[in-house]
Amino acid sequence: PRADGAVRELRDARARRTQAARAQRGVELHRPEAGDGSVDQTARVYDVEHGSHSGRDVELKGHSDSVDQVSWDPSSPDRLATVSADKTLRFWDVRAGGRAVATVALTDENINVAWSPDGAQVAVGNRDDVFAFVDAKTHEVTRTTPKFTYQVNDASWNRAGDVFYLTTADGFAEALRFPELTPLHRMKGHTSSVYAMALDPSRDRVAFGGADAMVSVWDTHECVCVSVVDRLQAPVRAVSFSHDGAFLAAAGDDDAVDVSD
């Protein structure tokens, strides 16, 4: 939203957005820019303040397959990372235009990416449920996990950076102690696959969206579900808190975005 309360619709008819690229980290509307990925092998950064087609949008080119997810550097408004089915992680700086500033070759098709809250490292998950951790400055792979025993759909750190959350196809989210990656607790609030998650930027809460068309919100200290949103009729593939944590948006296969307070 702009300061005057107006809402602009962002359109790009050239390619359908992938479901993964619509996830909560891909579009963060409290930033001056919003980014998304596409099946046309590009990502695009929109100037939300001035609207689409303002001449200030930046198209990020370089991937050779679909761009499945994007993640902004929390320590910089200009840097972001993208992952693609072309088995690469790419770092971008919108001030440098549409060319990647670094490319990291990985071992499999990548489906999710998360940036640590201090901006120091990026986690990339692939279709084989293996995560690679990449130093955001040197662009070197510093660690690779063994294959997880469950299908991982999404991942994110908490605000402190000492917990790493995973959503799974088995209806639960796993909280792992970081950097040890040892289990802390398991949050089971869905009857089927959990697709998306969002961390509240102002409070210790996390929201999950699932294939059961439900959104569950959890207190991360007590590890209890504090509220449920059940107004959507189809799988929830994206959830996002507003910058102050006052509102929670959820969307997916429905023709609507649900916003709750």
> Is-cis flag, bond preceding 32, omega within 30?
no
Sheet bearing 141-144, strands edge to edge? 110-115, 121-126, 131-135, 141-144
pLDDT greater at residue 107 or residue 34: 107
Specify the DSSP class assigned to residue 116.
-
End-to-end CA distance of the chain: 16
Query: pTM value?
Result: 0.81
Each residue's pLDDT tens digit, 211-253: 999 999 999 989 999 999 999 999 999 999 999 999 999 999 9
Which single residue is written with the structure tokens 């930027």? 201
Tokens of 153: 């759909």
Each residue's pLDDT tens digit, 86-143: 999 999 999 888 899 999 999 999 999 999 999 999 999 999 999 999 999 999 999 9
Strand partners, 152: 168
Q: Is 22 helix (H, G, I), strand (E, B) or coil?
A: helix
Rg of the chain, C-alpha, whole Å? 17
Specify the DSSP class assigned to residue 99.
B
Tokens of 249: 């948006």
Q: Is 95 helix (H, G, I), strand (E, B) or coil?
A: helix
The answer to whether the beta carbons of residues 27 and 240 sit under 8 Å apart is yes
